[in-house]
Each structure stands twice: as structure tokens, then as C-alpha cells.
């Protein structure tokens, strides 16, 4: 708590799912948060929790170097959490250019702004950049460790491989106090992107509709509860402030793969529904199995995922039930 009390923190993509929860944790710890935002969505967890009234919102597009630099400079940022990205895999496949602009160009412009400002004496002391387990691509050896090559070959995956490499290159070459997180699939209260499997399944069950599985149900993923992920980000930020972990990448996950069919079955059990999933088997361009070895984060950051899948899904379902009752 003392680490964050009064500390000035810039969070990019502040209206996003993870960013909203990270901001909630930072505000509760006494940080002064500046949220860099391009668009204001109709709804987000940040707004629903009233958090956008407790932080400074700095309008600006990541691909606008002047806007990024101004937000860092005027906000007197000491810590940067770079979470802004085009994160929808289907959209990335349909529109790779906008994904590359946001995820790759946006990242290197932010890093360059931090580098220039630090040269001029700005107090930026820690930069945490969100990569993803998707950066590893499709590999035979699982779970992924941080030593595995980055082999993202689809647009979103490749964009995350690039921003990951760029971050560590800027740290190595210019001494930027930066590090990378490679997170598993996140879930939890407040994810309003209903194209994702967990929100979509819960919403279908609340409407008494059969949940749709676009794949054949066999792909395995690592599902990380958002509050656990937030603790991982804070632990890495604290490590960087203490001079540890600079230039490194850290996996944040449970290390426990779950198939899509098993996941949907667990949600159905949590809800207490008798509906069966509609397994369509139409999904393409998906990596078959992905899960992470997070032992480096445990050893160097003292972080481990603490929330069991059943418990996390129950908390998530309870939140969506309240949201659905209020919003229909």
C-alpha cells in the first residue's frame, strides 16, 4: 500500500477491462491515476464503478506522439502501465492495419516518449507493458516458459510479439526501466465484451439460451481471474521501482489448462442451468492449446494466481446477474 500512496501513475486504455480493475486497485491504494483514453465507450467497468470521476482523464490517441508525451509530462507520471490495445482477435483478422497501428506503433511511440522525457529529467521510474500469451504462437512444448521464442503468426498474436520485443529492446538499449507481462485469458466482473467466451456464455444462460461454442470445444486455455492479474501487475511495478525485473518478461497465469467444453460446463454448473452448449465447430485460425508456466513470477515477484476457477466464475456470474437485472 505504501508504495502507491501519492504516486502518480499513467494507465493507457483506461476504459478497458483490465485497466479498469487496475485503476480500482491503484485508487484504493492511494495512487493519483492519469488515464490515457482515445474513446469513451457507452459503458465500462470504470464508469459503472464511478472510477472515472476519481482519476484524471487525459484524451489522446496512442498513435499521436504529441498527445502521449503531453499526458506523461503534464501528469508527471512516475509509473506507466501500458494496457491500451486492439485486443479483439476476430477484429484483428478482419482489420490488421488498425491492430498494427494501435498495438505496435502505439507501443513504440509510448516507449520513445518515455525515453525522451527521462532524458530531460522526468520521474518515470517503471514501465509495465502488456504483452500476451498469444505472443508465443503455436508451439509443441507446453506450458510456455519465458524462454520460449515468440512465434505469433496471426495479426493479433504477431502484434503482441512485436510490442513485447520492442519493449525489451528499448530497455536493453536505452536503459528504460521497462518489463513485460504475458497474461493468460482474463475473466471477471465487468468484462462487457460479449464476444468473449465467459461473458457470452453467462449472458446466454441468463437469457435461458444455449451457449454457443464456435470451436469443437477441444482448445485448451489458461483462465486467470482479473483480480489476480492486477496483483501481478502491481507486483511487477513494485519490483521495477526497486530496480528488479528490468528488461524481463513475466508469465501471469494459473498453469492449469481447461478446454472450452470444460469451461462452459463449469459455468453451467455455477449457474445451475440444465442447458446444453451448442458446439458449432466453425472457428478457424485458433491455436489449439495455450497455457503458461508462471514460476518466474512466483520466484522473482512473489506472485501466484490465488483464485480457483470455480470461485472466480461464481464471483463473475454474481456480478453479471446484478448487471443483467439492472440493464436487461
What SS3 state is found at 271? helix
Confidence class for position 328, pLDDT limits 50, 70, 90: low
Flag whether 262 is in a domain.
Answer: no
Full residue range of the structural domain in which residue 110 is found: 8-187+224-253+294-301
**Backbone Cα Rg of the chain:** 19
Per-residue pLDDT at 70: 97
Flag whether 153 is in a domain.
Answer: yes
Per-residue pLDDT at 285: 65
The angle formed by the CA atoms of residues 278, 282 and 284, to the nearest 5 degrees, is 140
Whether the CB-CB separation of 203 and 324 falls below 8 Å is answered with yes
b/e string for 171-195 if b means 16 or more Cβ within 10 A? beeeebbbbbbbbbbbbbbbbbeee
Flag whether 211 is in a domain.
Answer: no
Per-residue pLDDT at 10: 98
Residue 214's nearest CA partner among 271, 266, 157, 284 is 284
Look up cell 530496480; give the residue. 243
Per-position DSSP letters for 7-71, written without gaps between them: -EEEEESTTSHHHHHHHHHHHHTT-EEEEEES---S--HHHHTTGGGSSEEEE--TT-HHHHHHH
Rounded average pLDDT over 229-233: 98
For residue 91, the domain's CATH number is 3.40.50.720
Q: What are the tens digits of pLDDT across the range 171-207? A: 999 999 999 999 999 999 999 999 999 999 999 999 9
Q: Which residues are part of the catalytic machinery? A: 156
Per-residue pLDDT at 88: 81
Flag whether 261 is in a domain.
Answer: no
> Helices (H), strands (E): how many in the chain?
12, 13
Q: What are the tens digits of pLDDT across the range 102-159? A: 999 999 999 999 999 999 999 999 999 999 999 999 999 999 999 999 999 999 999 9
Length of the chain: 328
Q: What are the tens digits of pLDDT across the range 275-304? A: 999 999 887 767 889 999 999 999 999 999
Kindly state the DSSP code that residue 179 receives in the 8-state scheme: E
pTM value is 0.96
Flag whether 282 is in a domain.
Answer: no
pLDDT > 70 in the chain, percent: 99
Rounded average pLDDT over 16-29: 98
Number of domain units in the chain = 1
Flag whether 280 is in a domain.
Answer: no
- Taking the CB of residue 124, how many other CB atoms lie within 10 A of it? 22
Give yes or no for residue 91 having a pLDDT over 90: no
Q: What are the tens digits of pLDDT across the range 64-78? A: 999 999 999 999 999
Nearest-angstrom CA–CA distance, 40 and 37:
7
Flag whether 122 is in a domain.
Answer: yes
Give the contacts of 166 (CB within 8 A, at least 6 positions apart): 104, 107, 108, 111
Nearest-angstrom CA–CA distance, 318 and 76:
38
Give yes or no for residue 170 having a pLDDT over 80: yes
Look up cell 507486483; give the residue. 235
Nearest-angstrom CA–CA distance, 316 and 270:
10
Flag whether 210 is in a domain.
Answer: no
Amino acid at each position: 500500500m505504501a508504495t502507491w500512496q501519492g504516486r502518480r501513475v499513467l494507465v493507457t486504455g483506461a476504459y478497458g477491462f483490465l485497466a479498469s480493475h487496475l485503476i480500482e486497485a491503484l485508487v484504493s491504494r492511494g495512487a493519483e491515476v492519469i488515464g490515457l483514453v482515445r474513446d469513451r465507450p457507452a459503458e465500462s467497468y470504470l464508469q459503472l464503478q464511478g472510477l472515472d470521476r476519481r482519476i484524471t482523464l487525459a484524451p489522446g490517441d496512442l498513435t499521436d506522439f504529441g498527445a502521449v508525451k503531453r499526458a506523461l509530462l503534464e501528469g508527471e507520471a512516475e509509473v506507466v502501465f501500458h494496457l491500451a490495445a486492439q485486443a479483439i482477435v476476430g477484429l484483428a483478422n478482419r482489420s490488421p492495419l488498425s491492430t498494427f497501428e494501435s498495438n505496435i506503433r502505439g507501443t513504440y511511440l509510448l516507449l520513445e516518449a518515455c525515453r525522451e522525457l527521462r532524458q530531460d529529467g522526468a520521474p518515470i521510474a517503471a514501465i509495465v507493458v502488456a504483452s500476451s500469451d498469444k505472443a508465443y504462437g503455436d508451439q509443441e512444448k507446453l506450458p510456455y516458459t519465458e524462454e520460449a521464442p515468440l512465434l505469433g503468426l496471426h495479426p493479433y498474436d504477431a502484434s503482441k510479439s512485436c510490442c513485447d520485443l520492442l519493449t525489451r529492446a528499448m530497455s536493453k538499449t536505452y536503459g528504460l526501466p521497462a518489463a513485460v507481462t504475458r497474461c493468460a485469458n482474463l475473466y471477471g466482473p465487468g468484462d462487457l465484451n460479449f464476444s468473449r467466451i465467459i461473458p457470452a456464455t453467462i449472458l446466454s444462460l441468463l437469457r435461458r439460451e444455449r451457449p454457443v461454442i464456435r470451436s469443437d470445444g477441444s482448445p485448451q486455455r489458461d483462465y486467470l481471474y482479473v483480480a489476480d492479474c492486477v496483483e501481478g501487475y502491481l507486483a511487477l511495478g513494485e519490483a521495477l521501482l526497486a530496480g528488479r525485473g528490468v528488461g524481463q518478461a513475466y508469465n501471469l497465469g494459473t498453469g492449469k489448462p481447461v478446454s472450452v467444453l470444460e469451461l462452459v460446463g463449469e459455468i453451467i454448473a455455477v449457474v445451475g442451468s440444465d442447458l446444453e452448449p451448442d458446439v458449432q465447430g466453425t472457428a478457424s485460425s485458433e491455436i489449439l492449446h495455450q497455457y503458461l508456466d508462471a514460476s518466474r513470477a512466483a520466484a522473482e515477484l512473489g506472485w501466484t494466481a490465488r483464485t480457483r476457477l470455480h470461485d472466480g466464475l461464481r464471483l463473475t456470474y454474481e456480478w453479471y446477474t446484478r448487471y443483467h437485472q439492472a440493464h436487461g
